[in-house]
């Protein structure tokens, strides 16, 4: 009989898939890369998405855009609140994943997860209020009503913050969805696992397939492709590395994309995502809304 070597066995690392169209496909290229924790211990493998994977995700997002934008603001709020409910039920799992990914103490990781749950709730509450804040009835010198109404921009490419794998991602993704947009997300390159676990939450909540699509991979391969893709309407570039930023913004300008960037002087590595006053902002919803003005005759 072989000796008991349970402590010497080599663990089988999980290979995390992408999240596209409400399903969990593997990358078409078959490539993966090793994801390690803050202590350099291997945690899992993640898909190394290709440019074709990105194009597929954009196509799926575009197909879902009309349905999501067409829902009532209250219904979008209910769905985002449901995401918070499901995430609350898996808080222990996310606490362990964030602690391993970011090198946090369990108590600190638990605080991060709790704040991520609360942030979904905060933005869910804004879905039916942002139009009241940004919209207006405009005075005109003619027998017309003149209304200004915010509308979704469309498909938003989100380059997630690199350092804050869960809370940073939620803080950038939730306002995009609250405004009625759909998203193609490039998760943290070195800490992608909480993002894919978040995809499992989205898949088991009420978020329609295709509204959020999450890719894992290398920024050097995917950021420029995201910025230049003609069917992406806007880019949230918080997580774009400084050495890729100028080229990405120039590529985005060619198709007149809206680009949201970190404020001048703000570092991704040092930004405090736990600071509600800094990280919960209705302006982040407004960044991906377009103002539509409508004229209507006044009836006699």
Across residues 69-86, what is the average pLDDT? Answer: 98
Q: What is the pLDDT of residues 218-230, one digit of tens each?
A: 999 999 999 999 9
Checking if the pLDDT of 3 tops 80, the result is: no
pTM: 0.93
**Lowest-pLDDT choice from 3-17, 19-33, 174-188:** 3-17
Terminal CA-to-CA distance of the chain, rounded, Å? 96
Q: Mean of the pLDDT values across residues 254-283?
A: 90
User: What pLDDT score does 6 carry?
Assistant: 57
Mean pLDDT computed over 86-109: 96
Q: How many helices (H) and strands (E) does the chain have?
A: 11, 11
Is 1 within a domain? Answer: no
In a domain, 5, yes or no: no
CATH code for position 50: 3.40.605.10
Q: Does residue 161 lie within any of the structural domains? A: yes
**Is residue 163 packed enough to be buried (19+ CB in 10 Å), middle (13-18) or exposed (0-12)?**
middle
| pLDDT reported for residue 7 | 67
Provide the Cα torsion 164, 44, 175, 212; round to 10°. 170
pLDDT band of residue 1 (cuts 50, 70, 90) is very low
- Please tell me the predicted confidence (pLDDT) of residue 264: 80
In this structure, is residue 8 part of a structural domain?
no
Q: Does some domain include residue 176?
A: yes
- pLDDT over threshold 50, residue 239: yes
The reported pLDDT for the residue numbered 55 is: 97
Q: Phi and psi (nearest 5°) for 260?
A: -105, 125
Identify whether the C-beta of residue 118 lies closer than 8 Å to the C-beta of residue 85: no
Q: Give dist(CA 188, CA 161) in Å, integer.
A: 6
**Mean pLDDT, rounded, of the chain:** 94
Number of domains the chain contains: 1
Structure confidence by residue, pLDDT tens digits, 123-172? 999 999 999 999 988 888 888 898 899 999 999 999 999 999 999 999 99
**Is 272 contained in some domain?**
no
Specify if 10 maps to a domain: no
Q: What domain range includes position 130? A: 17-265+279-297
11: in domain: no
């Amino acid at each position: 009989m072989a000796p008991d070597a349970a402590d010497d066995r080599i663990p089988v690392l999980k290979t995390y898939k992408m999240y596209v169209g409400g399903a969990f496909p593997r990358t078409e290229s078959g490539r993966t890369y090793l994801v390690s924790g803050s202590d350099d211990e291997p945690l899992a493998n993640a898909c190394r998405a290709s440019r074709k994977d990105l194009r597929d995700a954009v196509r799926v997002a575009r197909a879902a855009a009309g349905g999501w934008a067409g829902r009532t603001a209250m219904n979008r709020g209910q769905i985002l609140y449901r995401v918070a409910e499901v995430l609350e039920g898996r808080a222990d799992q996310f606490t362990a994943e964030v602690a391993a990914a970011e090198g946090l103490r369990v108590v600190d990781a638990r605080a991060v997860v709790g704040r991520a749950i609360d942030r979904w709730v905060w933005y869910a509450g804004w879905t039916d209020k942002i139009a009241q804040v940004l919209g207006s009835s405009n005075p005109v010198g003619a027998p017309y009503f003149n209304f200004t109404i915010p509308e979704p921009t469309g498909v938003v490419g989100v380059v997630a913050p690199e350092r804050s794998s869960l809370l940073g991602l939620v803080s950038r993704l939730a306002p995009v969805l609250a405004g009625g947009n759909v998203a193609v997300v490039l998760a943290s390159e070195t800490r992608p696992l909480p993002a894919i676990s978040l995809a499992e939450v989205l898949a088991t909540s009420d978020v329609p397939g295709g509204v959020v699509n999450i890719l894992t991979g290398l920024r050097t391969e995917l950021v420029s492709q995201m910025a230049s893709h003609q069917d992406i309407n806007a880019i949230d570039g918080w997580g774009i590395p400084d050495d890729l930023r100028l080229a990405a913004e120039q590529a985005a300008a060619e198709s007149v994309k809206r680009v949201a960037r970190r404020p001048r002087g703000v570092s991704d590595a040092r930004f405090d995502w736990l600071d509600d006053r800094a990280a919960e902002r209705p302006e982040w919803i407004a960044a991906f809304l377009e103002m539509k003005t409508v004229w209507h005759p006044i009836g006699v």
